[in-house]
Amino acid sequence: MKSTWLIMKRELGSFFVSPLAYVVLTSWLVWNGVVFWILTEFYARNAVASGASTPLSGFFGGSALFFIPLLVFVPILTMRLIAAEKQSGTIEILMTAPVSEESVIIGKYAAALVMWCVLWLPTVIYAWIMSQYGSVDWGAVASSYFGIFCLGAYFMAVGLLMSVLAPTQITAAVLSFVALGVLFAMGIGEFVLDGIAREVCAYVSMWGHMQSFSKGVVDTRYLVFDLSVATLAIGLSVGVLKARSHG
Amino acid sequence: MIQVEALTRRYGSRLAVNNVSFAVESGEIVGFLGPNGAGKTTTLRMLTGYLAPTSGTIRIDGIDALADSIRARQRLGYMPEGVPLYREMRVYEYLRHRGSLKGVVRVAEAVDRSLELAGVADVRTRIVGQLSKGYRQRVGLAEALIADPPILILDEPTSGLDPNQVRQFRQLVASFRGKKAVLLSTHILSEVEAVCDRVFIIRDGEKVADLAPGDSKTSLEETFAELTTSKGDAS
């Protein structure tokens, strides 16, 4: 438990002293500022066409503008986790310290989750801005952030697994991008396919996931999915890290 | 302190370490010699739990290192070849992190003590990545000493050090005689002659000699050359 905490702390420390952290956070906020501006402009000009959705529900996953940057930013956040240790050789001091593979993986994963939260924290200001000019459904905002946290729990676990598998950070980033891209594209299948395939696609759809949460609907099917994928990816990461010494 | 029986390691079809057995007693400083690629690093990595052996047994301070790896690792200080370190940390931060990870109770004291021992107290607030190679090497040594382990495993510890630093390092290692079991790999013969009580020579993954430097009539250099080149130098 203590080693998990120490590993998390070190990971966060090394991330937040690197210029990468600030480049990522700044460009993330620039992107989201532009998206938020476009959405408010759109809803201001098309009050009738927008129906029940609001700029905030649009911002939290109601549009592709939510997912496209994530496919890029998530791999950048997670690529370092284990791959950087392999690349610099520090994996040797990490794995010869008296710590278990489980505490290494969980420590790294917890650090990734904290980074994810730090990424989203400044966006609370958009909800505040909206509340100054109109009414905001704070319940829907809360469920949006809960949905984002759950989505992050699953994205970060997938990114972590890719970082354990890949020999270098850049390979890890590419693998995570492809994995998340495929999962994202599967959601589109909901509108293209029929029958059971359509059901499966609807179930894994990130889009459906966030649309439901951004309207204030906490759908447990999506929670079960997020939790299952996260658990599976973390379990596999531990397994891959254990297998490393036999390679 | 270290007991190794019939240790074997394969990488695919290549046999890197073949049926190696040896023991290092407490208080003893043992050199581990061999040409490049002979299997020194692979052997040390198996002792420290970084690599799993294909077969064989390892006991560290009486603990079965394969069955109870974490407990065995608590007894070890290890300085890997090339001395990988977290370069973005400050020296004392790094040592404090590693000390806590190794379960040291009074970390601040342990950091000060190991900084002194390794002779890096003057750079304690510097960033590891900005230090010269010789200093980084000694930070690695301070890290290996942080939990005051009864066993030290050092992989090519003096590569990159200048002659004065090498001398200091040898004095430090010699000061562990009678206190810790030290296993150090090297291909510098004078190092072995200067500090080691005993030496193992490994060649193509097989142990070919176990001797005390002063034992034989011929010099260590001749013995080494004879043992490691006699079959035609393939390594």
Which chain B residues are within 8 Å of A2, Cβ to Cβ?
100, 103
**Residue A124 or residue A58, greater confidence:** A124
State how far residue B223 is from chain A, nearest Cα, in angstroms: 33
Range among A42-56, A190-204, B149-163 with highest mean pLDDT value: B149-163
**Residue A206 or residue A78, greater confidence:** A78
Q: Does B100 touch chain A (CB under 8 A)?
A: yes
**pLDDT for the residue B235:** 44
Residue B47 corresponds to which tokens in the numbers above?
A: 């002792």
Chain A residue with the nearest C-alpha to that of B75: A98
State how far residue B182 is from chain A, nearest Cα, in angstroms: 17
**pLDDT for the residue B102:** 94
Could you tell me if B130 and B235 lie in one domain?
no
- A191-226 pLDDT, tens digit each: 888 888 888 888 888 888 888 888 888 888 889 999
Binned at pLDDT 50, 70 and 90, residue A105 comes out as very high
- Whether A88 sits inside 8 A of B97 (CB atoms) is no
* Nearest C-alpha neighbor of A104 from the set A204, A5, A218: A5
Residue A141 has pLDDT above 60, yes or no: yes
Binned at pLDDT 50, 70 and 90, residue B219 comes out as confident
Could you tell me if B125 and B27 lie in one domain?
no
ipTM of the complex: 0.90
**pLDDT for the residue B186:** 86
- Tell me the average pLDDT across B70-77: 94
Residue B143 corresponds to which tokens in the numbers above?
A: 């890290």
**pLDDT for the residue B20:** 93
Binned at pLDDT 50, 70 and 90, residue A48 comes out as low
Of A13, A93, A99, the CB nearest to B80: A93
CB contact burial A46-59 (16+ within 10 A = b; e otherwise): eeeebeebbbbbbb
Chain B residue with the nearest C-alpha to that of A14: B88
Instruction: State the Cα–Cα distance between residues B60 and B150, nearest whole angstrom.
Output: 10
Q: Does B43 touch chain A (CB under 8 A)?
A: no
Could you tell me if B229 and B200 lie in one domain?
yes
- Identity at B231, one-letter amino acid code: K
- Tell me the average pLDDT across B151-180: 90
Within 8 A by CB and 6+ apart from B107, the residues are B96, B99, B100
Which chain B residues are within 8 Å of A97, Cβ to Cβ?
73, 98, 101-102
- Tell me the average pLDDT across B182-208: 88
Helix count and strand count (H, E) for chain A = 13, 0
The whole domain housing B95 covers 86-149
**pLDDT for the residue A39:** 85
Q: Number of structural domains, chain B?
A: 2
Task: Answer yes or no: are the C-beta atoms of A20 and A170 closer than 8 Å.
Answer: no
What is the CB neighbour count within 10 angstroms for residue A17? 14
Domain membership flag for residue B19: yes
Which chain B residues are within 8 Å of A99, Cβ to Cβ?
70, 101
- Tell me the average pLDDT across B77-106: 94
Which chain B residues are within 8 Å of A7, Cβ to Cβ?
101
Could you tell me if B210 and B108 lie in one domain?
no
Residue A225 corresponds to which tokens in the numbers above?
A: 């999915």
Task: Answer yes or no: are the C-beta atoms of B5 and B65 closer than 8 Å.
Answer: no
Instruction: State the Cα–Cα distance between residues A21 and A14, nearest whole angstrom.
Output: 9
- A30-40 pLDDT, tens digit each: 999 998 888 88
Averaged pLDDT of chain A: 90
- Whether A93 sits inside 8 A of B52 (CB atoms) is no
Instruction: State the Cα–Cα distance between residues B66 and B59, nearest whole angstrom.
Output: 8
**pLDDT for the residue A158:** 96
Within 8 A by CB and 6+ apart from B205, the residues are B9, B15, B16, B17, B18, B20, B38, B39, B42
**Residue A53 or residue B9, greater confidence:** B9
Instruction: State the Cα–Cα distance between residues A150 and A156, nearest whole angstrom.
Output: 10
> CATH number, domain at B179?
3.40.50.300
Instruction: State the Cα–Cα distance between residues B12 and B5, nearest whole angstrom.
Output: 21
Last residue of a domain, one of B94, B116, B149: B149
- Tell me the average pLDDT across A41-57: 73
Could you tell me if B67 and B167 lie in one domain?
yes
Could you tell me if B43 and B9 lie in one domain?
yes
User: Is residue B170 exposed (0-12), middle (13-18) or buried (19+ Cβ within 10 Å)?
Assistant: middle
Residue B18 corresponds to which tokens in the numbers above?
A: 């073949």
DSSP letter string, A98-131: S--HHHHHHHHHHHHHHHHHHHHGGGHHHHHHHH
**pLDDT for the residue B194:** 83
Chain B residues 162-201 with a CB less than 8 Å from chain A: none
Please report, rounded to a whole number, the percentage of residues in chain A having pLDDT higher than 90.
Answer: 58
> Which of A96, A100, A104, A108 is the best mutation test for B, with the most CBs of B within 10 A?
A96
Could you tell me if B154 and B223 lie in one domain?
yes
Binned at pLDDT 50, 70 and 90, residue B67 comes out as very high
Could you tell me if B120 and B213 lie in one domain?
no
- Whether B84 sits inside 8 A of A99 (CB atoms) is no
**pLDDT for the residue A149:** 94
Binned at pLDDT 50, 70 and 90, residue A108 comes out as very high
- Tell me the average pLDDT across B13-29: 93
**pLDDT for the residue B59:** 95
State how far residue A21 is from chain B, nearest Cα, in angstroms: 13
DSSP helix, strand, coil percent of chain A (3-state; round to 5): 85, 0, 15
- Tell me the average pLDDT across A110-127: 93
State how far residue A38 is from chain B, nearest Cα, in angstroms: 39
Instruction: State the Cα–Cα distance between residues B111 and B91, nearest whole angstrom.
Output: 10
Residue B36 corresponds to which tokens in the numbers above?
A: 């490049």
- Its pTM stands at 0.92
**Residue B59 or residue B211, greater confidence:** B59
Domain membership flag for residue B45: yes
Could you tell me if B60 and B165 lie in one domain?
yes
Chain B residue with the nearest C-alpha to that of A89: B84
Residue B231 has pLDDT above 60, yes or no: no
Last residue of a domain, one of B149, B166, B187: B149
- A147-188 pLDDT, tens digit each: 999 999 999 999 999 999 999 999 999 999 999 999 888 888
Could you tell me if B163 and B205 lie in one domain?
yes
- Tell me the average pLDDT across B89-95: 96
**pLDDT for the residue B216:** 63
Residue B108 corresponds to which tokens in the numbers above?
A: 């601040």
Q: Which residues pair with B90 in a beta bridge?
A: B127
Domain membership flag for residue B81: no
- Whether B98 sits inside 8 A of A97 (CB atoms) is yes
Could you tell me if B111 and B138 lie in one domain?
yes
- Tell me the average pLDDT across B147-162: 91
Could you tell me if B91 and B55 lie in one domain?
no
Domain membership flag for residue B125: yes
Last residue of a domain, one of B115, B131, B149: B149
Domain membership flag for residue B80: no
Please report, rounded to a whole number, the percentage of residues in chain A having pLDDT higher than 70.
Answer: 97
Is beta strand B198-203 parallel, antiparallel or unpaired with respect to B29-33? Answer: parallel
**pLDDT for the residue B234:** 46
Domain membership flag for residue B134: yes
**pLDDT for the residue B217:** 60
- Whether A88 sits inside 8 A of B87 (CB atoms) is yes
Residue B149 has pLDDT above 60, yes or no: yes
Residue B43 has pLDDT above 60, yes or no: yes
Least confident of A60-69, A117-126, B69-78, B217-226: B217-226
Task: Answer yes or no: are the C-beta atoms of B130 and B158 closer than 8 Å.
Answer: no
**pLDDT for the residue B106:** 93
Q: At what angle do helices B133-145 and B163-175 cross, to 10 degrees?
A: 10
